[in-house]
Copies of this chain bind each other. A is one copy, B any other.
């Protein structure tokens, strides 16, 4: 009883037209009379016909896929970027093929390899550092390559991002302007989290500019750095550098963890300690005190990437770099 599913040919026969006309009826702009189209769609519905995108892709040599890799799904920032992408690409009928790398460049390579086999129209990756083979694959893919969330030194193709180092520098400026000089940084320097490492580099460079001691660095573990790891790092910081006046954390999540550690120890924030994060996550605006942070405008990164992908379909262009300036957000935790 499991007869095989109907094809366009079946629909065509039932509707008394040629398969080509059925094909046209399923396209948006194709020229089919309204009468014929409605008959065909009705017939298709009755037969339970489901369009076969695979066959369509093969013949037309376009997949309507845009491949996207992010380090982690469970991250409000990357999720927002994906949302910006989805919303920007949907009107064009492009579907997102989403994968997460777990902050692992080898996993990214595997994912890119898999995705390219699906012949996406463009590929969006997070960050500007990749394994040599991943780089090679992207360079020879023959499709638009978009690197996001970073400003790579040697971009592969297009770039939609910002300087993590500069962003952190703006937060250091804020502390220095308020007269705080004994600053610390919580976050890893794991090779896997290049954005975290860039932020840390930016912290060190900024302190050096001011002639301050840039050695109050506490490793919070491998990404994704959790709230709990932020709390543990704060405990370590208090032990190793008790003179610290303010700390910048690699993300709002670790910053919130650090804040809770202070609360558990009865350390006043602000007052005895000031804390800043990164990412403008929900928790940063809701917690008490609210956390100063940096908004990297993740939604806009996605939206701009989508816009550029669509524009490149219309008219190819040489590699572009779109810079999205992060915004400093000052709240109760640093005042």
Q: Give the B-binding residues of A (Cβ under 8 A).
A: 2, 5, 48, 50-55, 57-58, 63, 72-76, 79-80, 82-83, 86, 95-100, 114, 116-119, 137, 140-142, 226-228, 231, 253, 256-257, 260, 263-264, 282-283, 285-288
Q: Give the chain B neighbours of A48 by CB distance below 8 A.
A: 140
Contact of A288 among B83, B100, B263 (CB under 8 A): B263
A286 touches B119 (CB 8 A): no
B83 touches A117 (CB 8 A): no
- Closest CB in chain B relative to A6 CB, distance in Å: 11
**Shortest 7 CB-CB contacts between residues of A and residues of B:** A74-B79, A53-B117, A227-B286, A73-B79, A263-B288, A54-B57, A51-B117
Task: Determine the distance from Cα of A109 to Cα of B229 in the docked complex, in whole angstroms.
Answer: 40
B50 touches A54 (CB 8 A): no
Residue among A2, A73, A116 with the highest chain B CB neighbour number at 10 A: A73
B282 touches A253 (CB 8 A): yes
Task: Determine the distance from Cα of A19 to Cα of B164 in the docked complex, in whole angstroms.
Answer: 48
Q: Give the chain B neighbours of A286 by CB distance below 8 A.
A: 227-228, 231, 256-257, 260
Chosen A-B contacts, 18 in total, with CB atoms closer than 8 Å, are A2-B142, A48-B140, A50-B117, A54-B54, A54-B58, A54-B63, A72-B79, A73-B73, A74-B74, A74-B75, A74-B79, A74-B80, A98-B98, A227-B286, A228-B282, A256-B283, A256-B286, A283-B283
- Closest CB in chain B relative to A211 CB, distance in Å: 36
Task: Determine the distance from Cα of A283 to Cα of B257 in the docked complex, in whole angstroms.
Answer: 8
Task: Determine the distance from Cα of A276 to Cα of B249 in the docked complex, in whole angstroms.
Answer: 28
Q: A74-B76, A142-B5 are in contact. Are A53 and B226 (CB under 8 A)?
A: no
Q: Which residue of B lies closest to A137 (CB)?
A: B50
Q: Give the chain B neighbours of A118 by CB distance below 8 A.
A: 53-54
Q: Give the chain B neighbours of A285 by CB distance below 8 A.
A: 228
Task: Determine the distance from Cα of A57 to Cα of B56 in the docked complex, in whole angstroms.
Answer: 12
Q: Give the chain B neighbours of A58 by CB distance below 8 A.
A: 52, 54-55, 58
B282 touches A260 (CB 8 A): no
- Closest CB in chain B relative to A39 CB, distance in Å: 20
Q: Give the chain B neighbours of A256 by CB distance below 8 A.
A: 283, 286
- Closest CB in chain B relative to A107 CB, distance in Å: 10
**Given A58-B58, A260-B288, A287-B287, 15 more pairs with CB closer than 8 A:** A5-B142, A50-B117, A52-B119, A53-B119, A54-B54, A54-B63, A54-B119, A73-B73, A73-B82, A227-B283, A227-B286, A228-B282, A231-B286, A256-B286, A257-B286
Q: Give the chain B neighbours of A257 by CB distance below 8 A.
A: 286
